[in-house]
Structure 1
Amino acid sequence: MAVFETAKYIDAEIDEYEGHPLINALPPINSQKDTAVLIRRIPVVSAEEVALPAHIRRHAMLRIMDGFLYPTRAHLQLEQTISSMIRQGYLSRNIANKSYQETLNRTENLTADVSRNAGNEALVSSVIGCSGAGKSTAVEAVLAGYPQVIMHSMYQHVQIVWLKVECPHDASVKSLCINFFRALDEALDNNGLYEKQYVKPRANVEMLLGDFARIAALHSIGLLVIDEIQHLERSRSSNVSDRILRFFVQLTNTIKLPILFIGTPKAYELFSPSMRSARRASQFGSINWNRFNTADRTGKGSDWDRFFSQLWSLQWFKSPQPLTDEIKHLFWDYSQGIAHVAVTLFYLCQTRAVTVGREIISRELVETVFNEELHMVKPMIRALQSGRDSEIQKYDDLEIPRVSLVQHAEVSAPIDEGATLRVNGDISPEQSQLSKLINMLEQAGIGEDIAPTVAEQAVSELPDANLFELFAHINNLKDKEPAPPTKEKPKVVKLEPRYVENDLRLMVNSKGGTYKTMKSEGVILRLADYL
């Protein structure tokens, strides 16, 4: 059952938020430590449970799968992004403003009226990463820190702080709208009222999208999360994908509704130029949710070290097994830094160990469990282990394209609660210059699909050149590009005809070629002779 909270207004934390009930009814803005506490979920392993029989302990071990979440720097950036998007999106939607209240009370032409209060920023962001990296889980953990529905009795208004909708598998606009109304009905606990009211057999796409936008504005949705956005790639028509993406961008421009996309690397192919322009105009950017790496960039152990050390402590063994570098490297090799695979493999190894009565996780056990119980993901893991692009590219939800990684900071390091964290990862001067050059080329009209390749070629040819010299070099290459060779028309040679004996052509030219002439020359057959 949905839980509605009555609005309790806090003092505005900055001047811009003063007098905005939709913002001041939200929880206080989190500090880095608050975020770590909010995200962290560590199951409890009690001594009483460790003493239980193996078949009962297996049930307690399920907490590893359902209740373990270790905060990383990516979680910190995600929470800051969501916090900013919700509040910035509400700046133009002030229910304390009488004229805005009157606009909400009129359902006709709602989106057109609300657009007058909207700003120019496109409140669009995305979380892109390989399957199993924990993107959706992380977003849900951050959203759990906000009440979903807030009642504003003073203003007779129902505020929906966030709404998470899954992109349909069939990539149809109608299915997307159905998912939206169902999520809305679930949040408001109104027994499918909106779905019954708007999803009708004769409802066309334009009507559904209009109702979508109108209801989103009516309930002051603070953040719309679209999960599995890569499903749009399955659309039989590219027009459908472009239409949905344009509609989302229009929502941010007209009713100032922030939208967060979640998807696998396949989603990068979906963003049309208009969608990418909206993303560049946004101050929130895109988060690359990478796999864990084993590189030590902080001097305090790698991100994988900290994550797996915390996971390894969740042992229901009667004699807990100490963590060794061999085991740590072994699990990374068989999970390739994908959080969900690592957690699943650890859970399965532990249950297998207590079942057979030998409570130790050895190399042989890990290999056996991986080969027997994780055979569905085995081809993908083997592709990552090979390190060959040709193998990895067979599975389009594994890796983020290298060009995309150049343009975005890496954010996968775990949080050190006692340290001041930088949201963005370290970017080398070469990467920074390459990124700027790519942006310059795109603004100059070079397609986004070839701009990265052109920029990389220029940098490789002039490694010591500055940004403007590189740009000039590319322009010179364009000017010097040879024109395509013109094909010369072949000369037509007039050939004299060759004749044979009794050639009909000579007969026609010399004797007129009449039937009588041809019969006298013996070239007409008498059919009667053959009957």
Structure 2
Amino acid sequence: MINIYQAEYHEPEVEDYRGNPLINALPLLKSPQDTAKLLNRYPTVRDCEKSLPGYIRRHAMMRILDEFLYPTKAHVQLEQMIAGMIRRGYLGRNIATSDYQKNLNSVDHLDFEAIARNAGNSALASSVIGCSGTGKTTAVEAILSGYTHQAIYHPDYQHTQIVWLKLDCPHDGSAKSLCIHFFRAVDDVLNTDYESLYVKARSSAESMLGDIARVAALHSIGILVIDEIQHLQAARSGGSKRLLNFFVTLTNVIKVPVLFVGTPKALELFSPTMRSARRAAQFGSLHWNRFEHIEQADIDTEWDRFLKRMWKLQWFEHATPLTKAMKDLFWECTQGIAHIAVTLFYLSQARAVMARREVIDQELVQKVFQQELSMIHPMIKALQSGRDIEIKKFADLDIPSDKIRIFCQTEEVVVVEEELTSSKDRLTELVEMLIKMGIGQDIAPIVAAQALAEKPEEDLFGLVAHIRMLSDKPKKQPRKTTNPTPLQPRYIDSDIRLMRGSEPYSTYSNLKNEGIVLDISAYL
């Protein structure tokens, strides 16, 4: 029981959460700024390490692979989604009320197979789908680790709460293996022996589903995260559908939210029917894709900021500057996939120090990409082509636009603008809308970037309205100034203004008479 923390309750920020120990024992809600600080990971580059031999320095460089995480807007959105799912799921499971024990007892008598066949659509189920290597799992684990106490004990209620539980879907998609993973994960958190209690040699997945529901209800699991959900496709006939139905049943019956994490291949699990698509988007699905690349020199994109921050992690005496040519080369080699970019940067730097070269140049990067990352060349070429027919050959790459439409366009689901049919980012879409409205192509990107900076949470139509409002504002009228009284000149003795004559040469004569014009004839 050494991993279990004794509950300390906070004053709830929302009135709905008042009087619910399971919610009030959680950390306070985080602002986007707090989330960015929580998730930001930046390894230390010590000056004393920069002079070490190359074979030692490359070990220090490995921190880039393990300790570098640049938080983006998608990370903030994901943290808010998870925080909302946990708290909304606990609203119907208040251990301080008499109904809690009644509901717990009723779980033993439920026919989960019958309920799963008729699973409704009110589930707190959601999904994070994106191309492999973009950092989905890293982001989810970083956010969950923000709940520093995974298990919380409530002494007044003699109740042990598990805030989150994360499972990896088995590679073979086996339902039984996934059930075993569940009991093993609970045992790891609570030091219990549920695996030995419920997993027998002849136990089937169907027989264990009811036990999973019982344990999930008994320990008030806040959110169940199932990673690599695309592996369910490997399940034998009907296996994936049965498991998906069961997880949705968990959310319907005992209010345990479920977050599915997977690659675009997982869309095939959700999209056969509109009903199953709704199940994966009840709490808002998140399209977690590569960085976007915009060919605008004056626009600082998330890809640019990510690359600039990573580029500072150099173990050289004199750091190599990041040039536009190098940015373009990294984009061509990585296509905005964060994991590949970090790997390429590490390998290039490691080869440079081993060759006793204190520089990362384009020739070196191209050599490393060609020789050490050759396995991913077909996938990168598919992304470079931009052709759906090539991208679809690789299940772990981008989500085709037709799949996004099937996945996200459902009734009863409010989807943010970024998750609609286009894979373009908000800035590109807004620029295109402004150009169609008649704003010049040279001005539209600047106006769009300014509007997004001023209204980051607004949707596209709200941003357009904001831009129109700014353009329709009456220009400030210049202040009317009353004509001042003309200044009257004041003259002094020998004032040359008074020597001006009306006749030809009279001014010259007057100046000569006053000695202002020198007569040089006497000197000739």
TM-score (norm 1): 0.74
Partner secondary structure for residue 165 of structure 1: strand
The one-letter amino acid of 1:293's match is: E
Could you tell which deviates more after superposition, 124-133 or 371-380?
Answer: 371-380
**Distance (Å, rounded) in 2 between the aligned partners of 1:100 and 1:306:** 48
The Cα of 1:266 is off from its aligned counterpart by 0.5
**Distance of 1:392 and 1:188 partners within structure 2:** 44
Query: Aligned equivalents of 1:384 and 1:218: distance in 2?
Result: 47
CA 1:381 to 1:296, structure 2 compared with 1: closer, same or farther past 3 Å?
Answer: closer
For 2:329, the aligned partner's letter is: L
Measure the CA separation in 2 of the matches of 1:390 and 1:428.
35
Q: Distance in 1 between matches of 2:251 and 2:357?
A: 57
Name the stretch that deviates more: 205-214 or 251-260: 205-214
Q: Which residue of 2 aligns with 1:358?
A: 357
Identity of aligned residues (%): 56
Q: What CA distance in whole angstroms lies between the structure 2 residues aligned with 1:390 and 1:106? A: 51
Match status 1:101 vs 2:101: yes
User: What CA distance in whole angstroms lies between the structure 1 residues aligned with 2:164 and 2:81?
Assistant: 14
In the TM superposition, what are the counterparts of 1:305-320 in structure 2 within 5 Å? 305-320=304-319
- Does residue 233 of structure 1 match 2:241? no
With over 3 angstroms needed to count, the CA separation of the structure-2 counterparts of 1:375 and 1:421, relative to structure 1, is farther
Offset at 1:153? Answer: 1.1
What are the within-5 Å matches in structure 2 for residues 247-396 of structure 1?
A: 247-271=246-270, 272-273=272-273, 274-280=275-281, 282=282, 284-295=283-294, 300-396=299-395
| Contact in 2 for aligned 1:76/1:423 (Cα 8 Å) | no
1:122 equivalent to 2:130? Answer no
Hey, what's the Cα distance between the residues in 2 that align with 1:427 and 1:268?
28
Q: How far is the alpha carbon of 1:389 from its aligned partner? A: 2.3
**Which residue is equivalent to 2:447?**
none
Give the structure 1 partner of residue 180 of structure 2. Answer: 178
Superposed displacement of residue 3, structure 1: 2.5
**How far apart, in 2, do the equivalents of 1:103 and 1:86 lie?**
19
The aligned amino acid for 1:349 is S
- 8 Å CA contact 2:150, 2:164 repeated in 1: yes
Tell me if the contact between 1:111 and 1:217 (Cα under 8 Å) persists in the aligned partners: no
CA contact (8 A) 1:73 1:423 kept: no
Asked if the contact 1:410/1:424 (under 8 Å) is kept, the reply is: no
Paired amino acid for 1:85: M
* DSSP-derived class of the 1:376 partner: helix
Amino acid at match of 2:268: E
Contact kept, 8 Å, 2:6 with 2:153, in 1: the verdict is yes
Residue aligning to 1:410: 418
Partner of 2:438: none
What CA RMSD, in Å, does the superposition of the two structures yield over aligned residues?
2.8
Q: Does the CA-based 8 Å contact 1:111-1:255 persist in structure 2? A: no
- Between the aligned partners of 2:195 and 2:455, the Cα distance in structure 1 is 44
Secondary structure in structure 2 of the residue aligned to 1:377? helix
Mark the runs of 5 or more structure 1 residues left unpaired by the alignment.
430-531
Distance 1:277 1:31 in 2: 29
Could you tell me which residue of structure 1 aligns to residue 142 of structure 2? Answer: 141
Normalising by structure 2, report the TM-score: 0.75
Q: Deviations over 1:461-512 (max 9, x none)?
A: xxxxxxxxxxxxxxxxxxxxxxxxxxxxxxxxxxxxxxxxxxxxxxxxxxxx
| SS in structure 1 of the partner of residue 277 of structure 2 | helix
Structure-1 separation of matches of 2:102 and 2:170: 35
In structure 1, give the amino acid aligned to 2:348.
Answer: C
Deviations 1:308-358 (A, max 9, x none): 000001111111111111111111110000000000000000000000001
Give the drift of 1:364: 1.2
2-structure distance, mates of 1:142, 1:266 = 24
Do 1:225 and 1:261's aligned partners in 2 also have CA atoms closer than 8 Å?
A: yes
Deviation at 1:420, TM superposition (A): 6.8
Structure 2 CA distance for aligned equivalents of residues 28 and 428 of structure 1: 30
Q: Which runs of 5+ in 2 are unaligned?
A: 409-414, 420-424, 428-449, 464-524
Aligned residue for 1:309, secondary structure, equals helix
**Displacement, 1:150?**
0.8
CA contact (8 A) 2:263 2:396 kept: yes
Report the residue type matching 1:150 in the other structure: I
Instruction: Identify the residue that residue 92 of structure 1 maps to in structure 2.
Output: 92
SS in 1 for 2:35: helix
Whether the 8 Å contact between 1:104 and 1:110 is mirrored in structure 2 is no
Q: Which of the numbers 167, 170, 189 marks the counterpart of 2:169?
A: 167
CA offset digits 1:507-530 (Å, max 9, x no partner): xxxxxxxxxxxxxxxxxxxxxxxx
Whole-angstrom distance in 2 between the partners of 1:111 and 1:87: 27
Q: Deviations over 1:269-298 (max 9, x none)?
A: 111433223245x2x211000100112799
2:166 is the alignment partner of 1:158? no
Deviations 1:430-476 (A, max 9, x none): xxxxxxxxxxxxxxxxxxxxxxxxxxxxxxxxxxxxxxxxxxxxxxx
Distance 1:223 1:163 in 2: 6
Shift of 1:23: 0.2
Q: Which residue of 2 aligns with 1:202?
A: 202
**Distance across 1 between alignment mates of 2:199 and 2:368:** 47
- What corresponds to 1:436 in structure 2? none
Distance 2:279 2:297 in 1: 34
Kept in 2: contact 1:181–1:194 (CA 8 A): yes
Opposite residue 278 of structure 2, the aligned amino acid is S
| 8 Å contact from structure 1 (residues 39, 69) kept in 2 | yes
Secondary structure class of the residue paired with 2:374: coil
